[in-house]
Amino acid sequence: MSVKKKPRRNKHRNTLKKHYSQLILLIIIVVSCVWFFYTLFHLQPASDWSEDKANEVSEVRLPKDDAPHQSQIEWWYYNGHLSSESGKQFSFHDTVFLVNSVMNHMISHVSFNDHQTGKHYTDQRKTGGNSSVDTKNRFEFNQSDWLMTGGDGNDRLKVITKDFSFDLQLTSTLSPVFHGSDGIISLAAAGSSYYYSRTRMATSGTITIGDTTEKVTGISWFDHQWGDFSIGRLSWDWFSLQLDNNVDAMIYQLRDKSNNPVLYMASITQNGHTEMLMNTDFTLTPGKKWHSNKTGSDYPLEWRVSIPKKNIDITTNSIISNSEFDARLTTYNHYWEGAIKIHGTHTGRGFMELSGYTTDNPGT
């Protein structure tokens, strides 16, 4: 009795089916990645720009809007100046971005500056999804040993890296500042974006560099912004200023890819009162530049800020010039982010962010 063998073509056919399935899966992955990068960094021409189509009669409501929204992009941002018990000075920035598209991502950027040594430390992470989906009136982003949590102006930041670590408690000492019209910034045909800040948050905790841990106190700034907009082809100069006479100011210049102005805006707050300033109310004049040997870019790190009707005429300078952030692993760009000092008619401290000065930014 003989046994018939299965034709070899059946085995070949099964192999082809397996390869075909693998090819289809690869195509799906590639298409999803391309779509993610497009939605994150592609910006339409000026006439087609869109930010969150917020109802103009709406406003930010807290603490409800401390929590995440279903926007295309959203971020929670902190910066701060810290002093140790031994008199040392430090500064930091900590940001969580949520990108909601075909593929959802949570991105974190952290920098830490030692003013004594001039060292600038950075780290970044990107994970899928959103760890704060079930929170109400608050946010809680947990990426292993990185934590950003809070709500209603009572927050905590915890970061552990091989070079530096910090564990900070932050409490807002002033009422929130709602930018634009009750927290809605209009970009005319571009749409609108929700935006508010807590400009002075009392900060305390510990910082660690190497094997040395110290207790610190200081003042931090918090921003929260969200909407359906792309940022990859925009550039900007952004300042948070905390003057020693208890005046707080936020100023930014937003430009398109052709360097045309999109929005020049400022808010100035004192004694619980906030006033919005238009581009005719203030001037920003760049001064000395710092050259990055890594990217070959020149960043203007000295600026003169003039607000005549407030009798403010100040100059800002970077504390650590080499504060360029290499974010190619997560947001595929470089930018400058660092602490600044203020002198002139007023003194104080602040932070500055400069974006769009390198040629490797997505979409440029």
DSSP 43: -
Predicted confidence pLDDT, tens digits, the chain (364 residues): 444 444 555 555 555 555 556 655 555 554 444 444 444 444 333 222 222 333 343 489 999 999 999 888 899 999 999 999 999 999 999 999 999 877 889 999 999 999 999 999 999 999 987 877 778 999 999 998 999 999 999 999 999 999 999 999 999 999 999 998 778 676 544 456 899 999 999 999 999 999 999 999 999 999 999 987 777 667 899 999 999 999 999 999 988 778 888 889 999 999 989 999 999 999 999 999 999 999 999 999 999 999 999 999 999 999 999 999 999 999 999 999 999 999 999 999 999 999 999 976 544 3
**How far does Cα 113 stand from its chain's mean position?**
17
Question: For the range 132-135, what are the long-range contacts, defined as Cβ-Cβ under 8 Å and sequence gap of 24 or more?
Answer: 132/67, 132/68, 133/68, 135/67, 135/68
Q: What is the pTM of this model?
A: 0.84
Question: CB-based burial of residue 310 (10 Å sphere; 0-12 exposed, 13-18 middle, 19+ buried)?
Answer: middle
Residue 357 phi/psi, 5-degree rounding, is: -95, -5
Distance CA 89, CA 73 (A): 33
Position of tokens 């571009």? 190
Residue 63 preceded by cis peptide, ω within 30: yes
Distance CA 214, CA 70 (A): 39
Residue 308 phi/psi, 5-degree rounding, is: -55, -45
DSSP 170: E
Burial 69-79 (b: 16+ CB within 10 A, else e): eebbbbbbbbb
DSSP 145: T
Distance CA 23, CA 156 (A): 45
Half-sphere exposure of 145 (CA within 13 A, CB side): 9
Q: How many residues does the chain have?
A: 364
> CA dist 126 to 99, 226, 263, Å?
11, 19, 30
Burial 325-336 (b: 16+ CB within 10 A, else e): bbbeeebebbbb
Coil/strand/helix, residue 3? coil
Residues β-bridged to residue 221? 79
Please name the helix (run of DSSP H) or strand (run of DSSP E) that holds residue 35, with its range, or none: helix 8-41
Q: Which residues contact 258 (CB under 8 A, 6 or more apart)?
A: none
